[in-house]
Chains A and B, each alone.
Chain A
Amino acid sequence: MKKKIEENAIQLSKRLQMSKTLRDIFTSQDSTSLKIAFDALESPIAISEELLESDFNRYFIGPLSPIADPFSSIYLDELDQVMSKSTLKVRALYETMGFSFPQQNQIPDDHIGIELDAYYQLLYIEEVKNIDYLRELRHYFLHEHLNLWIPLFIERALACKEGPSKAMVYILTQLKSFLIRETNTQGVPA
């Protein structure tokens, strides 16, 4: 609780704010939390909470086969499987970074929301706490993992031809440009 208060009190950098917002979008569990996170992106798209959620579910959640499953294993290992090799590699990375994951073996460690959570927290200790101990691991995580699958995930989601959702396209574009900025300029706008 103390940490939450501290976090809110700090004016986060745009970079940190964006990683947090993207995390919040992909870890949202209901329409209200999704809408709050989406609004934080300050998109020009007006969309109701209900439609936003049903589009989000169609793209990433289900119950029908989502347009793009949000797990790295889908893109890096065998098609259509979770909890496979790359999931466990991410698990080992989290453990080495000093994280514990209470929902381990319930939510795959390589769910995009969890990965963005890790990335946000790593950035946070660097930017806000000035601790560099995990910087190299963060770079490794970005280049050797996130960049290997998230572009494929975005590509698959953007290829949706049946009823493309402007809101989802906006989220994916923001995610894409965040990744590009992190990769090329370490978050500094080019």
Chain B
Amino acid sequence: MSYSKEKVDTLLHNGISRRNFLKGLAASGVLSSFPGGLLEANEDLNTKIPYLGEKSYETFRNACPRNCYDTCSIKTFVKDGVMQFIEGAQESTYTRGGCCVKGNSYVKRVYSARRLKYPMLQVGGKGSGQWKRISWDDAMEIIAKKLLEIKKDDGTMLGAALTKYSGNFGITHYGIEGMFNSIGYTTRLAGTPCWPAGIDAQNLDMGNMWCNDPEEMKDSKFIILWGVNPASNSVHSMKYIYEAKKKGAKVVVIDPVFTEMASKSSQYIQIKTGTDGLLALGMQKIIIDAKLHDQKWLDANSKGFKELKEYLDKDIKLDDVSKVTGIPLEMIKELALSFAKAKPATIWMGYGMQRHTNGGSMIRAIDALVAVTGNVGKYAGGARYGHLSTWGFNYAALSMPKPEGSVGYTGPEGAKGEFAHGGGGEKAAYTDRFLNINKTARELLNSKGPKVRLLWVACKNPFSQDFDRNQLIRAFKQLDMVVVADQFFNETAKWADIVLPVATQFEENDVNVSYWHYWLSLNEQAIKPIFEVKSDVQIAALLSKHMNKLEKGSCTFPQSVDTKEMTIKEFNPGIYAQFGIKSWEELKHGPVKAKAVIPYADGKFQTPSGKYEFYSEKALELFGSALPKYLEVRKPYDKFRMTSPHSRWSLHSQFQNLEWMEDVHPEPSVYINPDDAKMKMVNEGDTVAVFNKQGLLRLKAKITDNVQPGTVLMYEQWYNNNIYNVNELVDDTSSDMGAFKTGAPGVALHDTFVNFRKI
């Protein structure tokens, strides 16, 4: 051996040995002799031997920007510029020191070898797999040229379309929409595939979607978790539910699926899918008949209670309620009466329930149950769905003016999605063009006057989350150019012309709030962006630089941005007042909570009447029924209902591709009730084909009575190296509501019907 392992190991680990060695190195002439390459001589050693031993941790404030109730406040520990681990911020009573299993895997995500590293161009055409590495400048020049070509050919930028959704809810990420605002009037895939029917329902009833603070649930006396599974998908809410239960509150789970939450409840009620609204109406009838409704509150705060009562008296038959919902009448009566007697009582409604053709009407019916019992506007009460009351930022990154002389769409203007905020400023003669995000494939294929030619995909993985894969491939292929900005290579990137590597939240600055809790978190850049990744707003700035180079004034986005400065611009006195801080810098010490407000406690509703509206003229006008009447769910068109809820291992298409998740949950499964499995002669672990008029998926069977007979369940997820997308079986049939507030109705995902067989 020409070296002593022991000696070198000592040199590396012993500070004194290393210092002595480095002194000798400086004297040996090595430093001036290196030929140089990517590594350079450390000239500092000539004058001073720097400390090169073990470094201490630096800490940074971060937040989880995913589309999740919990939006965790995070503390990140960095050593020598490398992220070591994260923990939930202790300062937030909601996050309280812990992240979920997905959040805890963030170091793995940031340093995954699977990250997209460089801008790449698919030289062999979409789907060819032949990729060329290109510089950021080249990538942006190619895109800028295409955009200017579209403008020149069509006289407008409407041929450029953006599809962006919930991959990152950081406020500066509205800079992606800002980028599109800054190039002219463009086309947007608008609406939301997530929760629109429920948003409309709550807006019709109360004039807003505004839930009580989840931390109040600890003092609730009765909690109904209706179609929601926080034990899997909002783990930080669990401590309040547990505390309430410990103090004697009853926690009831109503769900078609026996979930993790159900296993932790006082009572689980398995309801037939799509009949929840009828159960809520039946319960109201029982409560009113027993005179347990809150007449005083109703007199002071509601409109249309009389009409509601008449409807319940006339049309709701309790025997039918029991039969349709599959719940024994005695159980319904007991549930209704005990709910009505407990004060305060609250209901938390999940987002799955409104993904039906009668979804909005079901949310309205449950809202009404909470209102009838006088639990709206009460501490620890409320009909909980979500809120956006802490989202009053400046949206500076979003609000970019159109270039002078921009020409746009002149058709009817639609709303732009639930998080749409201002932008553009003054009312113009033109608007952007809005296409329905829930019918992306069809909308792209059918777009005319002018045709969509360029699609930019950000914060979204349409091939994992959207519908009708085959049409989507056709739609992507016929576009001149598809740009996909993402952190990982996925099915959507496969059909791109250009992929752009995007920074994680640890590599940029931002600010985050939740649509559930009331905390505000600063997100600081904790590490240098790895490889060549860039933040979405930096990408926008670079595009602006190239557009302006090619045609001065063609893009109004700033040509260079600092994500920290961009973040600071989002704050305003309203935010400071709401959160009781004087400056954003206070957030460096930890997240802060908004001053406590009980929604609607002042009796003011933003409805046309200013009251809670059981009877809504707006609902009559838009959806054909003023009252939250029972609407029968979509009729089956195949043998089994298929539901596709969220998995605890992923967040939509995110996280599942990480090793930790793959270890515990490596492949998709279809969950089948034992009775159905027996009938179809399917055993645990068999490969089955699940199919319908839309498509066919092959996957492993899991046999469980957690799902009801007649229903199969498959989680909606993206698996790395697997083209599984449950939405291939979903047609794009709309839910009943959504168009009022978000511009387009939701999708009735859980009204999908399939058949299956062993293969």
CA distance A120 to B35 in the complex (A): 9
Is there an interface contact between B38 and A136, defined as CB atoms closer than 8 Å?
Answer: no
Asked if A136 meets B3 with Cβ closer than 8 Å, knowing A65-B721, A83-B82, A124-B34, the reply is yes
A:30-70 near B, CB below 8 Å: 30-31, 50, 53-54, 57-58, 61-65, 69
Given contacts A53-B132, A62-B131, A136-B3, contact A98 B22 (CB under 8 A): yes
Task: Spot the interface stretch: A126-134, A146-154, A165-173.
Answer: A126-134
> Does A95 belong to the interface (CB within 8 Å)?
yes
Roughly how many angstroms separate A80 CA and B661 CA in the complex, as a whole number? 13
**Do B40 and A99 touch across chains, with their CB atoms under 8 A apart?**
yes
Shortest distance from the beta carbon of B484 to any chain A beta carbon, whole Å: 10
Q: How far is the CB of A77 from chain B (nearest CB, A)?
A: 10
Q: For B116, list chain A residues within 8 Å (CB).
A: 62-63
Nearest A-chain residue to B38, judged by Cβ: A117
Contacting residues of chain B (87-140) with chain A, CB-CB under 8 angstroms: 108, 111-114, 116-118, 120, 123-124, 129-135
The answer to whether B40 touches A140 (Cβ under 8 A) is: no
**Interface status of A184 (Cβ within 8 A of chain B):** no
Check A104 for interface membership: any CB of B closer than 8 A. Answer: yes
- Residue numbers in B under 8 Å from A30 (CB-CB): 133-135
Which one of B111, B123, B130, B531 contacts A107 once the chains associate, using CB atoms below 8 Å? B531
A124 to B30, CA, bound (A): 10
Distance in angstroms between the alpha carbons of A94 and B721 in the assembled complex: 36
Please report the C-alpha to C-alpha distance between residue A147 and residue B499 in the assembled complex, in whole angstroms: 35
Residues of A within 8 A of B82 (CB): 83, 87-88, 105
Query: Are A121 and B35 in contact, CB atoms less than 8 angstroms apart?
Result: yes
Which of A65, A83, A107, A129 gathers most chain B CB within 10 Å?
A83
Q: Which of B5-13, B194-202, B271-279, B426-434 touches A? A: B5-13
Interface residues on A, range: 35 or more
Q: Looking at the complex, which one of B39, B83, B135, B494 makes contact with A118 (CB distance below 8 Å)?
A: B39
Does A7 count as interface, using CB distance less than 8 angstroms?
Answer: yes
Interface residues of A in 147-183 (CB under 8 A from B): none
In the complex the two chains form, what is the Cα distance from A98 to B49 in whole Å?
A: 10
**Which residues of chain B are within 8 angstroms of A79 by Cβ–Cβ distance?**
659
Contact flag A134-B35 (CB < 8 Å), given A29-B133, A96-B11, A144-B5: no
Contact B12 A63 (CB under 8 A): no
At the interface, yes or no: A18 with Cβ under 8 Å from chain B? no
In the complex, how many angstroms separate the beta carbon of B310 from the nearest chain A beta carbon? 62
From B12, B117, B527, give the contact of A61 (CB < 8 A): B117
Contacts of A76 in B (CB 8 A): none
For A14, what are the chain B residues with a Cβ–Cβ distance below 8 Å? Answer: none
Contact partners of A102 in chain B: CB under 8 A: 38, 40
CA distance A113 to B37 in the complex (A): 10
B33, B123, B499: the one within 8 Å of A63 (CB): B499
Report the minimum CB–CB distance from B25 to chain A (whole Å): 5
Known contacts A63-B131, A63-B489, A104-B81; is A50 also within 8 Å of B42 by CB? no
**Cβ-neighbour of A57 out of B81, B120, B135 (below 8 A):** B120
Contact B120 A96 (CB under 8 A): no
Say yes or no: is B4 at the interface (Cβ < 8 Å to chain A).
Answer: yes
Q: Considering the chains assembled together, what is the distance between the CA atoms of A65 and B529 in angstroms?
A: 20
Q: In the complex, are the beta carbons of B489 and A99 less than 8 A apart?
A: no
Contact of A136 among B8, B81, B113 (CB under 8 A): B8
Q: How far does the Cβ of B82 sit from chain A's closest Cβ, in whole Å?
A: 5
Q: List the A side residues contacting B659 at CB < 8 Å.
A: 78-80
> Residue B29 at the A interface, CB < 8 A?
yes
> Is there contact, CB below 8 Å, between B24 and A117?
no
Partner of A99, one of B33, B41, B721: B41
User: Given A121-B34, A133-B30, is A100 in contact with B113 using a C-beta cutoff of 8 Å?
Assistant: no
Contact A96 B489 (CB under 8 A): no
Whether A23 sits at the interface, judged by CB under 8 Å, is yes
Nearest CB of A to B28, in Å: 4
A16 to chain B, nearest CB (A): 10
What are the residues of chain B within 8 A of A88 when measuring CB–CB? Answer: 80, 82
B576, CB-defined interface residue at 8 Å: no
Q: Say whether B530 contacts A23, CB under 8 Å.
A: no
Over the window 136-154 of chain B, the binary record of Cβ atoms lying under 8 Å from chain A Cβ atoms (1 yes, 0 no) is 0000000000000000000
Binary interface profile of A, 88-112, with partner B (CB < 8 Å = 1, else 0)? 1101111111111111111110000
Residue A17 CB within 8 A of the other chain: no
Q: Which of B12, B34, B43, B531 sits near A125, CB closer than 8 Å?
A: B34
- In the complex, the answer to whether B36 meets A4 with C-beta atoms within 8 Å is yes
Residues of A within 8 A of B39 (CB): 94, 99-101, 114, 117-118, 121
Q: Does B722 contact A (CB under 8 A)?
A: no
- Whether A81 sits at the interface, judged by CB under 8 Å, is yes
B2 an interface residue at 8 Å Cβ cutoff? yes
Contact of B42 among A62, A100, A107 (CB under 8 A): A100
The residue that B133 contacts in the complex, of A23, A61, A103, with Cβ under 8 A, is: A61
B336 within 8 A of A: no
Question: Chain B residues with Cβ under 8 A from A134's Cβ?
Answer: 25, 30
In the complex the two chains form, is B42's CB within 8 Å of A98's CB? yes
B441 CB, min distance to chain A CBs, angstroms: 23
Known A30-B133, A101-B39, A105-B82; judge A131-B113 contact (CB<8 A). Answer: no
Q: Could you list 24 examples of A-B contacts with CB < 8 Å?
A: A50-B123, A50-B132, A54-B123, A61-B117, A63-B118, A65-B489, A65-B721, A74-B113, A80-B113, A81-B108, A81-B111, A81-B113, A96-B12, A98-B22, A105-B528, A106-B531, A117-B37, A118-B39, A121-B35, A128-B33, A131-B28, A135-B2, A137-B8, A140-B3
What would 15 more interface pairs be, CB under 8 Å, given A106-B529, A124-B34? A57-B133, A62-B117, A63-B117, A63-B489, A65-B720, A97-B30, A99-B40, A100-B42, A100-B43, A102-B40, A105-B530, A108-B530, A121-B35, A133-B28, A137-B11
Interface residues of B, Cβ cutoff 8 Å to A:
1-5, 7-8, 11-12, 18, 21-22, 24-26, 28-31, 33-45, 52, 80-83, 108, 111-114, 116-118, 120, 123-124, 129-135, 489, 493-494, 499, 527-531, 659, 720-721
The 8 closest A-B pairs by CB, nearest first: A100-B42, A105-B81, A139-B3, A133-B28, A117-B37, A99-B39, A129-B33, A140-B8
